Amino acid sequence: MTADTVPENEGVPLHVHRVTRYDPADRDEHGHWIGPEDTVSDHGPVEAAYLRAVGLFAAHAGVDHLVVREPSVSPTVRFGLEPSLPESGLGAFFPADPDGFHRGFHDGAKVPLATGQGLVRAMLRDHGLWCRLEVEDVLTVHVGWDQYLYIGTRRPCDEGLADRVRALGLFPEPLPASPYDMELGADEQRYPADDAFWDRLRRAVTANRAGVLEERPVLNMSRWHRLTPDTLDTVRADLTPRAPLAVWPPLSTDIPAVLDALTGEEEVECVLEEDGRLHGVIAHDEDFPHLTVLLSRARAALLLPRREGGAEPLFTGVLPDPDGVLRARWGTEPSRGNHTPLLLTTLRRGQVVGGTVTRIADFGVTFVDIGGFEAMINIPELSRRPFDHPSEIVSPGQEVMAEILDVDPMRERVSLSPRSLCEDPVRKLTEWVGRTVTGRVTKSVPMGVLVRVGDGRKGVEGLLPLAESGEEYPDPSRHPLRRGDTVRVTIVDVDPKRRRITLSWRGATPDG
């Protein structure tokens, strides 16, 4: 199943009114109210008038319910000056589960009109929650930071409705649109967490590339789930409708290494596992001593730096509705991994690509960014030139060209080879059979010594057998040639397929 997507602005009513207690006649030429304006609810007649106005517009639109859209909780949304309530006041409308999570407060939740009016009251009082309240194509109710209501209806607001609103001591003013209409952020991405998403997640978990799922049922609140192949289906069934999801790497049980990673960071989000449960903590540098205590008690943890260019999820998605349609209008934070499946379909074995070296792993594999995807170069494919460590050939930030050796869409792996783009010096030496050349001894082996012939460090090693030295040396350690010696040798045989070069040194002596 692939989710269909509903455009984020579909269903926005055409007729929008700003509803306030301020007479438009008392505004200046810029539209600003002349005189002091409310920053908090009066908890009295003005607040009650706003709630009755919502009821009047709902009756005009012919609806008896509202739908929660893009719910949010503190700390980001703090419009007024009143202190927020415990649980952002959600307990008055939605029961909490044993974890203290209010499952009824989610995008798409249908609530009775009275509950919707209660949510409007909570927003006017700045209890710490916020949401849009809408009925698709029919009605929208938005609460502004300025203690204004922005109400939109598909049907125009006639004089009868306007008079009833004015009778409440409020004034409806027509506007082109609500300033609180939903708009997707410039950096946000919107991909469905459909069956293809979950198939990909299962492969990533099985390969131990992914291990944590972040669920964001409301803005500024996350639930964390530890993933194993056996728990994926259970986790999926327990998620909040329409929640944005982010996939992260597995937790680390190396707590000292996690503590070391705090050095130099100013703000982090840390996911900790304690008593088999996951929870997240956002900490600034002044909070790190307390975070250190929490980490010391954790079984495992995952550190996510919140600086620019810090942690980035492996990939993200937004849950579609049960019918497969993606009706949620919010997105997720950027992740280059969202483009990986499409990118892999454009890559072919034998294709030459350019990229930037991102890192050299401790085990020697070099990783290269090829258009937002991290491909890998195994040590033997890095160069035809002899080297002891990949850092002798490449360094982070270096641009490289390479041939694609393999594309594995299931495991999301691409193997590269810069080596294959270089001329094979062994094949070149087939033209030199019979020639006498100068080489340098690189190593003693039981069968004789290895001598590098060809173009300096770009040359290749051939075997100078003991039998070809012209004398018998039962003990290789007594052989007169030592590492670093230069010698004149004859190229006797070159086998490109087996990559073997046989040399002779009969009668020759070390140079110098």
Are 108 and 243 contacting, i.e. CB atoms less than 8 angstroms apart? no
Give the H or E element holding residue 275.
none
Averaged pLDDT, 468-486? 66
Residue 152 has pLDDT above 60, yes or no: yes
Indicate the DSSP class of residue 192. B
371 against 187, higher pLDDT: 371
Query: What is the identity of the amino acid at 240?
Result: T
Are 239 and 117 contacting, i.e. CB atoms less than 8 angstroms apart? no
Place 81 in a pLDDT band, splitting at 50, 70 and 90. very low
Residue 115 has pLDDT above 50, yes or no: yes
Q: What CA–CA distance (Å, rounded) separates 361 from 380?
A: 15
Q: What CA–CA distance (Å, rounded) separates 23 from 78?
A: 26
Closest CA to 492 of 447, 437, 434, 428: 434
pLDDT of residue 83: 47
Residue 79 has pLDDT above 60, yes or no: no
Question: How many residues make up the chain in this entry?
Answer: 512
Q: Against a cut of 0.85, is the pTM above it? A: no
Residue % of the chain over a pLDDT of 90 = 54
Q: In this predicted model, what pLDDT tens digit does every residue of 399-458 receive, in sequence order?
A: 999 999 999 988 899 999 999 998 777 887 888 888 888 888 888 888 888 988 876 666
Place 10 in a pLDDT band, splitting at 50, 70 and 90. low
Q: In this predicted model, what pLDDT tens digit does every residue of 194-209 receive, in sequence order?
A: 999 999 999 999 988 8
Q: How far apart are the first and last CA of the chain?
A: 75
Are 285 and 267 contacting, i.e. CB atoms less than 8 angstroms apart? yes
Are 228 and 205 contacting, i.e. CB atoms less than 8 angstroms apart? yes
E strand map for 296-435: 300-305, 315-318, 325-326, 352-360, 366-369, 374-377, 399-408, 413-417
Residue 76 has pLDDT above 70, yes or no: no
352-360 and 139-143 strand pairing: unpaired
464 against 318, higher pLDDT: 318
Indicate the DSSP class of residue 320. P
pLDDT of residue 12: 52
4-5 and 325-326 strand pairing: parallel
300-305 and 486-495 strand pairing: unpaired
DSSP 432-496: GTT-EEEEEEEEEETTEEEEEESSGGGSEEEEEEGGGGSS--SSGGG-S--TT-EEEEEEEEEET
Closest CA to 63 of 12, 119, 136: 136
132 against 14, higher pLDDT: 132
